[in-house]
Amino acid sequence: EIVLTQSPGTLSLSPGERATLSCRASQSVSSSYLGWYQQKPGQAPRLLIYGASSRATGIPDRFSGSGSGTDFTLTISRLEPEDFAVYYCQQYGSPPYAFGQGTKLEIK
């Protein structure tokens, strides 16, 4: 069973700044089947990144994903006000398809 650990737990930044979120897996994620989701209060999650680095449909290019094996990163190049939310990583290569515990991105 793969366990995902996200860091930091909370990230305080200002609009226009760059955000770097980390997701570390307890064992290698097969075929880079790693996704990133954004969730805003009262809303369902939204897929941002799949396959570690591919943007989902309609996702702005300020969002990018990288990494392989056990270390993955979500980068938001220039934060917009609507980007402040909670972000989750998920591995979907082998069940159980676990999520990380989340990183809350808050306005500084």
The site for another protein (CB under 8 A) is made up of 33, 35, 37, 39, 43-47, 50, 56, 86, 88, 90, 92, 95-102
Least Å distance, CB 24 to another protein, is: 16
| CA-to-CA dists, residue 94 to 58, 64, 68, 88, angstroms | 27, 23, 15, 17
Which one, 19 or 48, has the nearer CB to another protein? 48
CB closer to another protein, 38 vs 84? 38
Closer to another protein by CB, 53 or 99: give it: 99
CB of 98 to another protein, least distance (A): 6
Q: CB–CB of 61/55 below 8 Å?
A: yes
